[in-house]
Structure 1
């Protein structure tokens, strides 16, 4: 087992948990008619992100490691924090995009590390989750285009 694979699995797990927390909080605090679609999208994505965390945690267990717990947690998603102005939907969209871009980068690194470590199971898992994250990025790029037109 590769230390790099384990490190990236742990980071991805923590990032997914942090994303769940921030999506949930933003879905609760955003206000306004224009926020409704974004809140619905965030709510829908919470379960998928939680599913990613579960898969990553199970993979760590299979590799005889444990997933990070709250004492191991280090928050990194500064731009996904709820905005002071609860109607500032664009700042949430931009925060989601930054988090998705970071996740995509992590999963691409995990794919390369797993390939180098001859770990096709982790590689396959990372490819599957990468596809989901790229779909989220595309969805929120569309929202950003729409909001910037206004």
Structure 2
């Protein structure tokens, strides 16, 4: 059964919050990580910040188009993701946190795609596009982790 417009807005709002939390964590890790082994991860995270922010903007626009209200800082729900580690040289924890965040986003976009199937093709198309981006990010960071699992 397809989601109602109100349910779709709620799902999109959750995705919006997830993207903003990702932006904050990726930004923090792209600055805080130390060490030579961290340089490539920092560069990748820095590039991902812009992608994730664009995702949040696209979700915000769709929320508004559907008649919803985009939440401000006091209404955004945060805390669902692993936080940057205290040890600024712990590159593996950062990579694993990124993988976890990307897997969470993928699962949520799949949920929205399923909920809007046959009803809201615009939202569904948006989420299919975002899903593709997140799958690309996941593959990239799984590749980074392979180097550390040797």
Give the TM interval when normalised to the shorter protein.
over 0.9
Q: Deviations 1:41-93 (Å, cap 9, x if unpaired)?
A: 000000000000000000011011111211112223442x1211110000000
Within 2, Cα distance between the matches of 1:140 and 1:68?
A: 30
Q: Deviations 1:8-41 (Å, cap 9, x if unpaired)?
A: 1000001101100110001110000000000000
Give the TM-score of the pair, scaled to structure 1.
0.94
Which of 97, 106, 112 matches 1:104? 106
Tell me if the contact between 2:117 and 2:124 (Cα under 8 Å) persists in the aligned partners: yes
Unaligned ranges ≥5, structure 1: none
Aligned residues: 147
> 4+ residue runs of structure 1 moved beyond 6 angstroms?
none
Within 2, Cα distance between the matches of 1:97 and 1:4?
A: 27
Alignment RMSD (CA, Å): 1.0
Unaligned ranges ≥5, structure 2: none
Report which of the two has the higher share of helix. 1
Q: Which position in structure 2 is the counterpart of 1:36?
A: 39
Tell me if the contact between 2:14 and 2:77 (Cα under 8 Å) persists in the aligned partners: no
Matches within 5 A, 1:133-148: 133-148=134-149
Matches within 5 A, 1:18-37: 18-37=21-40
Q: Could you tell me how far 1:4 is from its partner in structure 2? A: 2.1
Q: Which position in structure 2 is the counterpart of 1:119?
A: 120
Within 2, Cα distance between the matches of 1:144 and 1:105?
A: 20
Q: Which position in structure 1 is the counterpart of 2:131?
A: 130
Tell me if the contact between 2:81 and 2:101 (Cα under 8 Å) persists in the aligned partners: no
Within 2, Cα distance between the matches of 1:121 and 1:140?
A: 29
Q: Which position in structure 1 is the counterpart of 2:84?
A: 82
Q: Which position in structure 1 is the counterpart of 2:71?
A: 68
Which of 3, 6, 17 matches 1:3? 6
Q: Which position in structure 2 is the counterpart of 1:48?
A: 51
